[in-house]
Amino acid sequence: MSRKKVTVVGGGFVGSTTAQRIVDMELADVVLTDILDGPPAGKALDMLESGPITRTDSRATAGSDIVVITAGFPRKPGMSRDDLLKANYDVVKAVVEQIVKHSPKCVIIVVTNPLDAMAQAAFKVSHFPKNRVLGMAGVLDSARMSSFVATECKVSVENVHSFVLGGHGDDMVPLPRYSTVAGIPLPDLLPKERIDAIVERTRKGGAEIVNLLKTGSAYYAPSAAAVEMVEAILKDKKKILPCAVYLDGEYGIKGLFVGVPVKLGASGAEEIIQIKLTAEESAALQKSAAAVRELVAVLGIY
């Protein structure tokens, strides 16, 4: 079997930790690209020199199985994800034009914010089929929720499974009913006010890290989340993960990237899993989708 190749575009915090994790897990050869000349090349060389297990011996970007886009600008304190919209659209557009040329058969995983709008941009610019363009957000948001639940319940994170739908913004939709500890739904375990606090902290999870870091935004958990998606695709795992995908009527949403449960396998997003929502949950999802729709309308890509 030929070795798999993953290109990570953007050698900043998220990109370099994503590359490092893929290398450490021996999932694929990794190519790290950036518009900056010095630091990203230094990081790539440093990774190469970090041992014979790094498997970063391929330098060309052509023919990658997966391309992870982390290129762009991160949020600064006080800046909303939406402020990044236009600047990062130009970056993603330029990057995707190169991807189409060099890796026309790849699956694209977008990480750049504002996530859902940037995934929609990658879809529109690439003209790839919808199964080959995904956005990473739900895995991260669910991981954040799980870590808060594990702390609150004083249990292993391995016992916790969390469910977050919607766009990657303040209107994301954590679903306590579908979130479990050892299979037990959260509402059977915790009082409403504790659940509400966890939901609120999950929604603001990105900003909490930004405020602590002072410069830049989260990258350890985001890179781990992106790599979970990479692994599911490279290993054709048929793993169900929350991802931003192009909805074509599912959940009553049409023509828009929004986070929903997706089965990931070799061809990317192989199936969108539809779960039953209450009227309240459904309204929250529609509100979150409306926030994404506003952004893509600004960019003229709805």
Ligand X SMILES: NC(=O)c1ccc[n+]([C@@H]2O[C@H](COP(=O)([O-])OP(=O)(O)OC[C@H]3O[C@@H](n4cnc5c(N)ncnc54)[C@H](O)[C@@H]3O)[C@@H](O)[C@H]2O)c1
CA atoms of 205 and 145, how far apart (whole Å) = 9
- Relative orientation angle of helices 220-234 and 13-24, to the nearest 10 degrees: 50
Tell the smallest beta-carbon distance from residue 245 to ligand X (Å): 14
161 is catalytic: no
Site membership for ligand X, residue 166 (CB under 6 A): no
Pair 48, 251: CB distance under 8 Å: no
Q: What is the DSSP string of 75-114?
A: --TT--GGGGHHHHHHHHHHHHHHHHHH-TTPEEEE-SSS
Per CB under 6 A, the list member of 95, 143, 247, 295 interacting with ligand X is 95
Return all residues near 73 (Cβ < 8 A) that are at least 6 apart: 84, 87, 88, 91
Sign of the CA dihedral running 139, 143, 149, 154: positive
Ranges within 243-272 binding ligand X (CB under 6 A):
none
- For residue 268, the 8-state DSSP code is E
Per CB under 6 A, the list member of 167, 205, 222, 242 interacting with ligand X is 222
Query: Residue of minimal CB distance from ligand X?
Result: 12
Site membership for ligand X, residue 218 (CB under 6 A): yes
| Whole-Å CA distances, 57 to 3, 25, 32, 92, 277 | 11, 15, 12, 26, 48
Taking alpha carbons only, the member of 51, 53, 61, 55 closest to residue 11 is 61
CA atoms of 245 and 251, how far apart (whole Å) = 12
**Which segment (41-49, 100-108, 215-223, 288-296) binds ligand X by CB under 6 A?**
215-223
List strand residue ranges (DSSP E) for 171-253, in order. 173-174, 180-181, 184-185, 239-248
CA atoms of 250 and 122, how far apart (whole Å) = 20
Site membership for ligand X, residue 94 (CB under 6 A): yes
Tell the smallest beta-carbon distance from residue 154 to ligand X (Å): 27
- Complex with ligand X: residue 39 or 187, whichever CB lies closer: 39
Ranges within 51-70 binding ligand X (CB under 6 A):
70
Site membership for ligand X, residue 242 (CB under 6 A): no
Tell the smallest beta-carbon distance from residue 141 to ligand X (Å): 7
Contact pattern from residue 9 through residue 28 relative to ligand X, giving x for each residue in contact according to CB under 6 A and a dash for the rest:
xxxxxxx-------------
- Complex with ligand X: residue 94 or 297, whichever CB lies closer: 94
- Complex with ligand X: residue 218 or 285, whichever CB lies closer: 218
Ranges within 112-151 binding ligand X (CB under 6 A):
112-113, 115, 136-137, 140
Would you please indicate which residues are annotated as catalytic (active-site) residues? 168
**Interface positions with ligand X (CB under 6 A):** 9-15, 33-36, 40, 70-75, 88, 91, 94-95, 111-113, 115, 136-137, 140, 168, 216-219, 222
